[in-house]
Structure 1
Amino acid sequence: MQGRRNPFVAREGIPFLFVSAVSCWAAFYYLNFFWLSGAVFLLVILFLIFRDPRRRIPAVPLGVVSPVDGRVVEVGIVDKGVLQGEAKCVVVRINSLGTYTARCPVEGKIMDLYAASSNGASVYQTNALWVQTDEGDDVVLQFSGYRLGLAPKSFLRFGERLGQGSRCAYLRLTRYAEVHMPIDSTILVQPGQRVVAGHDLLGRLPHA
Protein backbone atom coordinates (compact mmCIF):
# COMPACT_ATOMS: atom_id res chain seq x y z
CA MET A 1 0.00 0.00 0.00
CA GLN A 2 1.04 3.60 -0.38
CA GLY A 3 2.32 5.80 2.45
CA ARG A 4 0.14 8.55 3.83
CA ARG A 5 -0.39 11.65 1.72
CA ASN A 6 2.48 14.06 2.26
CA PRO A 7 4.42 16.77 0.39
CA PHE A 8 7.46 15.55 -1.54
CA VAL A 9 9.64 17.31 1.04
CA ALA A 10 9.56 17.04 4.83
CA ARG A 11 7.65 19.84 6.53
CA GLU A 12 10.69 20.68 8.66
CA GLY A 13 12.56 21.61 5.49
CA ILE A 14 9.92 23.87 3.95
CA PRO A 15 11.13 27.10 5.69
CA PHE A 16 14.71 26.47 4.51
CA LEU A 17 13.55 25.79 0.95
CA PHE A 18 11.38 28.91 0.98
CA VAL A 19 14.26 31.14 2.09
CA SER A 20 16.53 29.54 -0.51
CA ALA A 21 13.94 30.07 -3.25
CA VAL A 22 13.59 33.74 -2.27
CA SER A 23 17.39 34.05 -2.43
CA CYS A 24 17.30 32.66 -5.98
CA TRP A 25 14.68 35.21 -6.94
CA ALA A 26 16.69 38.07 -5.38
CA ALA A 27 19.91 36.95 -7.05
CA PHE A 28 18.16 36.74 -10.43
CA TYR A 29 16.78 40.29 -10.25
CA TYR A 30 19.44 42.17 -8.28
CA LEU A 31 22.74 40.28 -8.49
CA ASN A 32 24.89 38.59 -11.09
CA PHE A 33 25.05 35.05 -12.49
CA PHE A 34 27.66 33.98 -9.92
CA TRP A 35 25.32 34.66 -6.99
CA LEU A 36 22.38 33.12 -8.83
CA SER A 37 24.35 29.92 -9.47
CA GLY A 38 25.26 29.66 -5.79
CA ALA A 39 21.66 30.21 -4.69
CA VAL A 40 20.35 27.61 -7.14
CA PHE A 41 23.00 25.12 -6.03
CA LEU A 42 21.99 25.64 -2.39
CA LEU A 43 18.32 25.16 -3.27
CA VAL A 44 19.07 21.86 -5.04
CA ILE A 45 21.16 20.57 -2.11
CA LEU A 46 18.46 21.49 0.40
CA PHE A 47 15.83 19.80 -1.74
CA LEU A 48 17.89 16.59 -1.83
CA ILE A 49 18.43 16.69 1.94
CA PHE A 50 14.79 17.34 2.86
CA ARG A 51 13.10 15.21 0.22
CA ASP A 52 10.46 12.82 1.54
CA PRO A 53 9.07 10.71 -1.30
CA ARG A 54 6.13 8.36 -0.91
CA ARG A 55 7.02 4.69 -0.62
CA ARG A 56 5.12 1.52 -1.47
CA ILE A 57 4.80 -0.34 1.84
CA PRO A 58 4.98 -4.16 1.48
CA ALA A 59 1.93 -6.14 2.61
CA VAL A 60 3.86 -8.29 5.12
CA PRO A 61 2.16 -8.14 8.56
CA LEU A 62 5.10 -9.68 10.45
CA GLY A 63 7.75 -7.90 8.41
CA VAL A 64 10.18 -5.37 9.89
CA VAL A 65 10.81 -2.69 7.26
CA SER A 66 13.88 -0.52 7.06
CA PRO A 67 13.32 2.84 8.78
CA VAL A 68 15.86 4.64 6.57
CA ASP A 69 17.54 4.69 3.18
CA GLY A 70 21.07 3.38 3.42
CA ARG A 71 23.36 0.38 3.62
CA VAL A 72 23.39 -2.40 6.21
CA VAL A 73 26.71 -2.34 8.06
CA GLU A 74 26.12 -4.81 10.88
CA VAL A 75 23.85 -7.72 11.73
CA GLY A 76 24.13 -9.44 15.09
CA ILE A 77 22.85 -10.05 18.59
CA VAL A 78 22.87 -7.61 21.50
CA ASP A 79 22.66 -8.87 25.07
CA LYS A 80 20.48 -6.08 26.46
CA GLY A 81 17.93 -5.36 23.79
CA VAL A 82 14.19 -5.08 23.27
CA LEU A 83 13.84 -4.14 26.94
CA GLN A 84 14.57 -7.64 28.20
CA GLY A 85 17.50 -9.92 27.43
CA GLU A 86 18.99 -10.71 24.03
CA ALA A 87 17.73 -9.28 20.75
CA LYS A 88 18.54 -9.38 17.05
CA CYS A 89 20.05 -6.11 15.82
CA VAL A 90 20.45 -4.58 12.37
CA VAL A 91 22.55 -1.42 11.96
CA VAL A 92 22.09 0.73 8.85
CA ARG A 93 24.39 3.57 7.77
CA ILE A 94 21.98 6.28 6.67
CA ASN A 95 22.25 7.85 3.22
CA SER A 96 22.28 11.61 3.90
CA LEU A 97 20.63 12.28 0.54
CA GLY A 98 17.98 9.62 1.08
CA THR A 99 14.57 10.29 2.60
CA TYR A 100 14.70 12.87 5.41
CA THR A 101 11.90 11.18 7.37
CA ALA A 102 12.33 7.86 9.19
CA ARG A 103 9.67 5.16 8.82
CA CYS A 104 8.22 2.99 11.57
CA PRO A 105 9.60 -0.58 11.24
CA VAL A 106 6.37 -2.35 12.30
CA GLU A 107 2.70 -1.75 12.95
CA GLY A 108 1.87 -1.25 16.60
CA LYS A 109 1.58 1.07 19.58
CA ILE A 110 4.16 3.60 20.75
CA MET A 111 5.23 2.67 24.27
CA ASP A 112 6.70 4.85 27.02
CA LEU A 113 10.45 4.22 26.93
CA TYR A 114 11.08 6.83 29.63
CA ALA A 115 9.05 4.84 32.16
CA ALA A 116 10.83 1.62 31.23
CA SER A 117 14.19 3.36 31.64
CA SER A 118 13.28 4.66 35.10
CA ASN A 119 12.40 1.11 36.15
CA GLY A 120 15.79 -0.15 35.06
CA ALA A 121 14.32 -2.25 32.26
CA SER A 122 15.96 -0.40 29.38
CA VAL A 123 19.44 0.62 28.29
CA TYR A 124 18.20 2.56 25.27
CA GLN A 125 18.78 6.22 24.62
CA THR A 126 15.88 8.45 25.56
CA ASN A 127 15.19 9.37 21.93
CA ALA A 128 14.70 5.76 20.86
CA LEU A 129 11.30 4.64 19.55
CA TRP A 130 9.69 1.59 21.19
CA VAL A 131 6.85 -0.03 19.24
CA GLN A 132 4.83 -2.98 20.54
CA THR A 133 2.84 -5.03 18.03
CA ASP A 134 -0.62 -6.47 18.65
CA GLU A 135 1.05 -9.86 19.14
CA GLY A 136 3.18 -8.46 21.96
CA ASP A 137 6.49 -8.29 20.08
CA ASP A 138 8.71 -5.35 21.00
CA VAL A 139 10.74 -3.54 18.34
CA VAL A 140 13.03 -0.62 19.18
CA LEU A 141 14.46 1.93 16.73
CA GLN A 142 17.32 4.13 17.90
CA PHE A 143 19.81 6.45 16.23
CA SER A 144 23.45 7.40 16.74
CA GLY A 145 26.14 9.56 15.17
CA TYR A 146 24.48 12.96 15.23
CA ARG A 147 25.80 15.68 12.91
CA LEU A 148 25.93 19.28 14.17
CA GLY A 149 24.68 18.02 17.53
CA LEU A 150 21.14 17.56 16.16
CA ALA A 151 19.30 14.46 17.37
CA PRO A 152 16.40 13.06 15.33
CA LYS A 153 13.03 14.56 16.21
CA SER A 154 10.00 12.30 16.70
CA PHE A 155 6.54 13.71 16.06
CA LEU A 156 4.62 10.93 17.84
CA ARG A 157 3.01 10.56 21.26
CA PHE A 158 2.98 7.64 23.67
CA GLY A 159 -0.05 5.43 23.09
CA GLU A 160 -0.40 6.44 19.45
CA ARG A 161 -0.84 3.63 16.91
CA LEU A 162 1.32 3.53 13.82
CA GLY A 163 1.10 1.56 10.62
CA GLN A 164 4.05 -0.33 9.20
CA GLY A 165 6.19 2.09 7.21
CA SER A 166 4.47 5.22 8.57
CA ARG A 167 6.52 8.38 9.00
CA CYS A 168 7.72 8.71 12.58
CA ALA A 169 10.70 11.10 12.91
CA TYR A 170 12.92 13.63 11.17
CA LEU A 171 16.41 12.18 10.76
CA ARG A 172 18.34 15.48 10.75
CA LEU A 173 21.44 14.04 9.01
CA THR A 174 21.94 11.30 11.61
CA ARG A 175 24.55 8.71 10.59
CA TYR A 176 23.22 5.38 11.90
CA ALA A 177 19.92 3.67 12.63
CA GLU A 178 19.63 0.52 14.75
CA VAL A 179 16.61 -1.77 14.76
CA HIS A 180 16.32 -4.24 17.64
CA MET A 181 13.79 -7.07 17.39
CA PRO A 182 12.99 -10.22 19.40
CA ILE A 183 15.71 -12.86 19.50
CA ASP A 184 13.47 -15.38 17.68
CA SER A 185 13.05 -13.03 14.70
CA THR A 186 14.42 -13.94 11.28
CA ILE A 187 16.95 -11.53 9.76
CA LEU A 188 16.50 -11.05 6.00
CA VAL A 189 19.47 -8.78 5.20
CA GLN A 190 23.24 -8.99 5.35
CA PRO A 191 26.07 -6.44 5.68
CA GLY A 192 26.65 -4.44 2.50
CA GLN A 193 23.06 -4.68 1.33
CA ARG A 194 21.27 -1.45 0.35
CA VAL A 195 17.82 -0.85 1.81
CA VAL A 196 15.02 1.60 1.08
CA ALA A 197 13.01 3.17 3.90
CA GLY A 198 9.48 1.83 4.35
CA HIS A 199 9.90 -0.71 1.55
CA ASP A 200 12.71 -3.23 2.06
CA LEU A 201 12.42 -5.84 4.83
CA LEU A 202 15.12 -6.14 7.48
CA GLY A 203 13.54 -9.11 9.21
CA ARG A 204 10.43 -11.03 10.17
CA LEU A 205 8.90 -11.28 13.64
CA PRO A 206 8.39 -14.74 15.20
CA HIS A 207 4.65 -14.69 15.93
CA ALA A 208 2.32 -16.34 13.41
Structure 2
Amino acid sequence: MHGRRNPFIAREGIPFLLFTLVLCWFSWQYLGLPWLAGAVLLLLVLFLIFRDPRRLVPAVPLGVVSPVDGRVIAIDAAANGLFEGKGQRITIRINSFGTYTARSPVEGKVMDLNSLSAEAITIYRTNALWLQTDEGDDVVLQFSGYRFGLAPRSLMRYGERLGPGTRCAYLRLTRRAELHLPPDCKIQAEVGQRVTAGQDVLARLRSP
Protein backbone atom coordinates (compact mmCIF):
# COMPACT_ATOMS: atom_id res chain seq x y z
CA MET A 1 0.00 0.00 0.00
CA HIS A 2 1.38 3.42 -0.93
CA GLY A 3 1.11 6.68 0.96
CA ARG A 4 -0.81 9.63 -0.43
CA ARG A 5 0.40 11.22 -3.62
CA ASN A 6 2.68 14.08 -2.79
CA PRO A 7 5.46 16.08 -4.46
CA PHE A 8 8.93 14.60 -4.04
CA ILE A 9 9.86 17.78 -2.14
CA ALA A 10 7.93 18.70 1.02
CA ARG A 11 5.75 21.74 0.31
CA GLU A 12 7.22 23.64 3.25
CA GLY A 13 10.67 23.45 1.65
CA ILE A 14 9.73 24.73 -1.81
CA PRO A 15 10.18 28.47 -0.98
CA PHE A 16 13.68 27.81 0.43
CA LEU A 17 14.68 25.81 -2.64
CA LEU A 18 13.33 28.45 -5.03
CA PHE A 19 15.21 31.19 -3.18
CA THR A 20 18.43 29.14 -3.32
CA LEU A 21 17.95 28.54 -7.05
CA VAL A 22 17.71 32.30 -7.54
CA LEU A 23 20.84 32.69 -5.40
CA CYS A 24 22.64 30.17 -7.64
CA TRP A 25 21.66 32.15 -10.75
CA PHE A 26 22.70 35.46 -9.16
CA SER A 27 26.05 34.00 -8.07
CA TRP A 28 26.69 32.63 -11.56
CA GLN A 29 25.87 35.95 -13.19
CA TYR A 30 27.50 38.42 -10.81
CA LEU A 31 29.53 36.89 -7.95
CA GLY A 32 31.77 34.25 -9.48
CA LEU A 33 32.58 30.59 -8.95
CA PRO A 34 33.28 30.57 -5.17
CA TRP A 35 29.85 32.02 -4.44
CA LEU A 36 28.23 29.73 -6.99
CA ALA A 37 29.85 26.67 -5.40
CA GLY A 38 28.55 27.70 -1.98
CA ALA A 39 25.05 28.29 -3.33
CA VAL A 40 25.00 24.92 -5.10
CA LEU A 41 26.18 23.19 -1.91
CA LEU A 42 23.39 24.90 0.04
CA LEU A 43 20.90 23.78 -2.61
CA LEU A 44 22.03 20.15 -2.24
CA VAL A 45 21.77 20.29 1.56
CA LEU A 46 18.26 21.77 1.37
CA PHE A 47 17.26 19.10 -1.14
CA LEU A 48 18.41 16.39 1.28
CA ILE A 49 16.54 18.00 4.18
CA PHE A 50 13.25 18.62 2.36
CA ARG A 51 13.03 15.55 0.13
CA ASP A 52 9.85 13.55 0.70
CA PRO A 53 9.78 10.39 -1.46
CA ARG A 54 6.92 7.93 -1.61
CA ARG A 55 7.24 4.90 0.65
CA LEU A 56 5.87 1.39 0.19
CA VAL A 57 3.98 0.60 3.41
CA PRO A 58 3.98 -3.13 4.30
CA ALA A 59 0.58 -4.84 4.55
CA VAL A 60 1.01 -6.14 8.11
CA PRO A 61 -2.25 -6.52 10.09
CA LEU A 62 -2.07 -4.52 13.35
CA GLY A 63 1.49 -3.50 12.49
CA VAL A 64 3.11 -0.36 13.89
CA VAL A 65 5.46 1.19 11.33
CA SER A 66 8.29 3.58 12.03
CA PRO A 67 7.11 7.21 11.93
CA VAL A 68 10.56 8.60 11.05
CA ASP A 69 13.90 7.75 9.49
CA GLY A 70 16.46 7.12 12.20
CA ARG A 71 17.86 4.67 14.73
CA VAL A 72 16.15 3.01 17.70
CA ILE A 73 18.01 4.16 20.83
CA ALA A 74 15.75 2.82 23.60
CA ILE A 75 12.90 0.38 24.23
CA ASP A 76 11.42 0.56 27.71
CA ALA A 77 8.30 0.84 29.85
CA ALA A 78 6.93 4.29 30.62
CA ALA A 79 3.82 5.85 32.13
CA ASN A 80 1.80 7.61 29.47
CA GLY A 81 -1.56 8.47 31.03
CA LEU A 82 -3.51 6.26 28.63
CA PHE A 83 -3.14 2.90 30.37
CA GLU A 84 -3.16 1.70 33.94
CA GLY A 85 0.45 1.26 34.97
CA LYS A 86 3.03 1.61 32.22
CA GLY A 87 2.87 1.13 28.48
CA GLN A 88 5.74 0.34 26.14
CA ARG A 89 7.88 3.06 24.60
CA ILE A 90 10.18 3.07 21.58
CA THR A 91 12.55 6.03 21.26
CA ILE A 92 14.09 6.87 17.88
CA ARG A 93 16.90 9.32 17.18
CA ILE A 94 15.86 11.01 13.95
CA ASN A 95 18.30 11.02 11.06
CA SER A 96 19.10 14.67 10.31
CA PHE A 97 19.30 13.83 6.61
CA GLY A 98 16.27 11.55 6.57
CA THR A 99 12.97 12.54 4.98
CA TYR A 100 11.35 15.76 6.14
CA THR A 101 7.90 14.40 7.03
CA ALA A 102 6.77 12.09 9.81
CA ARG A 103 4.35 9.30 9.01
CA SER A 104 1.47 7.77 10.90
CA PRO A 105 2.58 4.60 12.73
CA VAL A 106 -0.87 2.95 12.58
CA GLU A 107 -4.28 3.21 10.97
CA GLY A 108 -6.61 5.15 13.20
CA LYS A 109 -8.43 8.33 14.16
CA VAL A 110 -6.69 11.49 15.40
CA MET A 111 -7.84 12.15 18.97
CA ASP A 112 -7.70 15.31 21.12
CA LEU A 113 -4.98 15.03 23.78
CA ASN A 114 -6.61 17.86 25.73
CA SER A 115 -9.49 15.51 26.53
CA LEU A 116 -7.19 13.28 28.61
CA SER A 117 -6.41 13.46 32.31
CA ALA A 118 -4.20 16.17 33.77
CA GLU A 119 -1.48 13.53 34.21
CA ALA A 120 -1.51 12.65 30.52
CA ILE A 121 -1.54 16.30 29.45
CA THR A 122 1.54 16.87 31.62
CA ILE A 123 3.31 13.89 30.02
CA TYR A 124 2.49 15.12 26.51
CA ARG A 125 3.28 18.77 27.14
CA THR A 126 5.41 18.76 23.99
CA ASN A 127 4.16 18.04 20.47
CA ALA A 128 2.33 14.74 20.26
CA LEU A 129 -0.18 12.94 18.03
CA TRP A 130 -2.70 10.55 19.62
CA LEU A 131 -4.19 7.89 17.35
CA GLN A 132 -6.91 5.42 18.28
CA THR A 133 -7.30 2.32 16.11
CA ASP A 134 -10.61 0.66 15.18
CA GLU A 135 -9.72 -2.08 17.68
CA GLY A 136 -9.55 0.49 20.47
CA ASP A 137 -5.76 0.57 20.85
CA ASP A 138 -4.17 3.90 21.70
CA VAL A 139 -0.85 4.93 20.13
CA VAL A 140 0.88 8.25 20.78
CA LEU A 141 3.69 9.71 18.68
CA GLN A 142 5.64 12.37 20.58
CA PHE A 143 8.51 14.60 19.43
CA SER A 144 11.27 16.35 21.39
CA GLY A 145 14.62 18.07 20.90
CA TYR A 146 13.88 20.93 18.54
CA ARG A 147 16.73 22.60 16.65
CA PHE A 148 16.46 26.41 16.48
CA GLY A 149 13.20 26.19 18.46
CA LEU A 150 11.31 24.82 15.44
CA ALA A 151 8.69 22.37 16.71
CA PRO A 152 7.10 19.87 14.28
CA ARG A 153 3.98 21.08 12.49
CA SER A 154 1.00 18.78 12.23
CA LEU A 155 -0.64 18.18 8.86
CA MET A 156 -3.77 16.63 10.42
CA ARG A 157 -6.80 17.70 12.45
CA TYR A 158 -8.76 16.09 15.26
CA GLY A 159 -11.22 13.49 13.99
CA GLU A 160 -9.33 12.83 10.77
CA ARG A 161 -8.56 9.22 9.87
CA LEU A 162 -5.05 8.17 8.88
CA GLY A 163 -3.73 5.06 7.22
CA PRO A 164 -0.41 3.55 8.24
CA GLY A 165 2.46 5.42 6.62
CA THR A 166 0.35 8.52 5.87
CA ARG A 167 2.24 11.80 6.08
CA CYS A 168 1.16 13.45 9.31
CA ALA A 169 3.68 16.17 10.28
CA TYR A 170 6.64 18.24 9.14
CA LEU A 171 9.61 17.34 11.36
CA ARG A 172 11.50 20.65 11.10
CA LEU A 173 14.89 19.26 12.19
CA THR A 174 13.49 17.55 15.29
CA ARG A 175 15.95 15.25 17.11
CA ARG A 176 13.84 12.50 18.71
CA ALA A 177 10.56 10.65 18.28
CA GLU A 178 8.86 8.49 20.91
CA LEU A 179 6.15 5.91 20.28
CA HIS A 180 3.95 5.13 23.28
CA LEU A 181 2.27 1.76 22.78
CA PRO A 182 -0.11 -0.50 24.75
CA PRO A 183 1.57 -2.74 27.36
CA ASP A 184 0.46 -5.94 25.61
CA CYS A 185 1.78 -5.17 22.12
CA LYS A 186 4.61 -7.26 20.69
CA ILE A 187 7.79 -5.28 20.09
CA GLN A 188 9.71 -6.34 16.97
CA ALA A 189 12.29 -3.54 16.82
CA GLU A 190 15.69 -3.78 18.50
CA VAL A 191 17.90 -1.14 20.08
CA GLY A 192 20.46 0.04 17.53
CA GLN A 193 18.27 -0.87 14.55
CA ARG A 194 18.10 1.65 11.72
CA VAL A 195 14.53 2.25 10.60
CA THR A 196 12.83 3.84 7.63
CA ALA A 197 9.64 5.88 7.98
CA GLY A 198 6.53 4.11 6.74
CA GLN A 199 8.36 0.88 5.88
CA ASP A 200 9.92 -0.84 8.90
CA VAL A 201 7.52 -2.56 11.33
CA LEU A 202 8.42 -1.76 14.94
CA ALA A 203 5.66 -3.65 16.76
CA ARG A 204 2.39 -5.57 16.44
CA LEU A 205 -0.74 -4.60 18.35
CA ARG A 206 -2.76 -7.31 20.09
CA SER A 207 -5.50 -9.11 18.17
CA PRO A 208 -9.04 -8.07 19.16
Q: Same fold (TM over 0.5)?
A: yes
TM-score by length of 2: 0.96
- In 2: Cα distance, 1:116 partner to 1:25 partner: 52
Counterpart of 1:201 in structure 2 is 201
Q: Deviations over 1:75-124 (max 9, x none)?
A: 0111x22622311110000001001000000000000002215x544421
How far is the alpha carbon of 1:61 from its aligned partner? 2.6
Q: CA deviation at 1:7?
A: 0.8
Match of 1:150 in 2: 150
Write the mapping of 1:15-164 to structure 2, written as runs, cut at 5 A: 15-78=15-78, 80-81=79-80, 83-85=82-84, 86-117=86-117, 119-122=118-121, 123-164=123-164
TM-score normalized with structure 1 length: 0.96
Q: Give secondary structure in 1 for the equivalent of 2:174.
A: coil
Moved over 3 A (4+): 119-122
Aligned-partner SS, 1:98 = coil
Q: Report the CA distance shift for 1:82/1:47 in structure 2 as closer, same or farther (over 3 A).
A: farther
RMSD over equivalenced CA pairs, Å: 1.2
Equivalent residue letter for 1:185: C
Q: Deviations over 1:136-164 (max 9, x none)?
A: 00000001111111111101110000001
1:165 maps to 165
Cα offset, 1:126, TM superposition: 4.7
| Structure 1 unmatched runs, 5+ | none
1:192 Cα offset (Å) = 0.5
Q: Which residue of 2 aligns with 1:2?
A: 2
Identity %: 64
* Offset from partner CA, 1:21-71 (integer Å, 9 cap, x none): 110111111220011001000000000011111100010130000000000
SS at structure 2 position matched to 1:23: helix
> What is the distance in 2 between the residues matched to 1:28 and 1:187?
53
Which moved further from structure 2: 55-64 or 119-128? 119-128
Structure 2, unmatched stretches of 5+, are none
**Contact 1:84-1:121 within 8 A present in 2 as well:** no
Aligned length: 206
